[in-house]
Amino acid sequence: MGIVVSVSRASIDLSPDQLRRDPPTVVEPADFDRFWQAALADAAATPVLVDVRPEPTDLRLVDVWDVTFAGFAGEPVRAWYTRPAGVPAPLATVVEYAGYGRGRGLPGERLTWPVAGYAHLLVDNRGQAGLYASGDTPDPHAAPGGPTIATRGILTPEDYHYRRLITDAVRAVDAARALPGVDPTRVVAVGNSQGGGLALAVAGLVGGLAALLVTAPFLCDIQRAIELTDASPYGEIGRYLAVHREAEEAVRRTLSYVEGVTFARRATAPAHFGIGLRDTVCPPSGGLAAYDQYGVSAGGADRPARELHTYPFNGHEGGEAVHVRRQLRWLGAVLRSPVGAVSAG
């Protein structure tokens, strides 16, 4: 089992102890696996790498490439591929997914992983750039639903924005494994908030991941979260339903196909979780449920190792630099690299 650090009662949600005694019931659609197998098979019909070109920067310690890969429906998705400068050997590679309303930004905005010695693929969010960071990937699909990211196409699972975004996230792992200088057996999925929800989905859909690192994950126990918090992004769904009252059944059905707890059950990679217990954006009960259910489909001795750190007095920001240090030490130990010479904690 995992390690639970600094657990106390959550200020805005059920405590971890309460959740262990009475875990949430997350119901899976009967065709959940068929739904995602079909979506990914369609995407896989297109060769994954479209373009890889060096990106000139003023950074001396890293090399950067501008990557375009084929995501949902073969549509182009952009990413930054960054490596320690002058290191030709195949490296363990972190595929990182950005938070809600963020794009990939500018090269060099996120350097923790490459300066720690990893190759790093930072994936753009289709159709989300401009709220917090710039991006270069459009989402050319329109369907009935609301005007915000979380409600685009929300009336059917086939049209929902997150079907496309999760498909892109899976294809990003395929792209990373095809890039020069990547050890395809040591690819890691990483994300915070929306990025954490995408990383969890990838862990449930992609085989052979070396590890998963998730903090404050979005899209976990969604049915409860939309009732618990008015903060965006969940609040956007609640506000949509406040106007479109007759759409609740359809919306809840759609959300069941992108549920992080359901993906977590199917995961097989070792996992590291971080959750702030005062998080009003992504209620902690969702992330704790995903941790509790992580890897249960494997069962018994085959269930993957997992570790949890909670932060009783922190919200959506979680453990920040303290947690990143824990991530680096844990991942280094999992990959048996020099980064993990110091034990986690």
Known catalytic residues are 193, 279, 316
Query: What is the side-by-side order of every strand in the sheet holding 271-276?
Result: 4-5, 306-311, 271-276, 211-215, 182-192, 91-97, 119-123, 76-84, 62-70, 49-54
Where would I find the H helices in 96-247? 112-115, 161-178, 194-205, 222-228, 234-243
264 to 137, 184, 198, 244: CA distances (angstroms)? 27, 22, 11, 31
Which three-class secondary structure state does DSSP give residue 189? strand
- The span from the CA of 127 to the CA of 149, in Å, is 8
Contact 59, 108 (CB under 8 A): yes
Which three-class secondary structure state does DSSP give residue 184? strand
Q: Which two tokens stand for residue 143?
A: 């369907």
Work out the number of other CB atoms within 10 angstroms of the CB of residue 290.
32
- The span from the CA of 188 to the CA of 201, in Å, is 13
Work out the number of other CB atoms within 10 angstroms of the CB of residue 51.
11
Q: Which two tokens stand for residue 142?
A: 């329109």
- The span from the CA of 60 to the CA of 322, in Å, is 27
* CB neighbour burial string for 161-188, b if at least 16 within 10 angstroms, e if fewer: bbbbbbbbbbbbbbbbbebebbeeebbb
- The span from the CA of 81 to the CA of 65, in Å, is 5
- The span from the CA of 343 to the CA of 58, in Å, is 34
Q: Which two tokens stand for residue 32?
A: 């959940």
Please, which residues bridge with residue 81 across strands? 65, 121
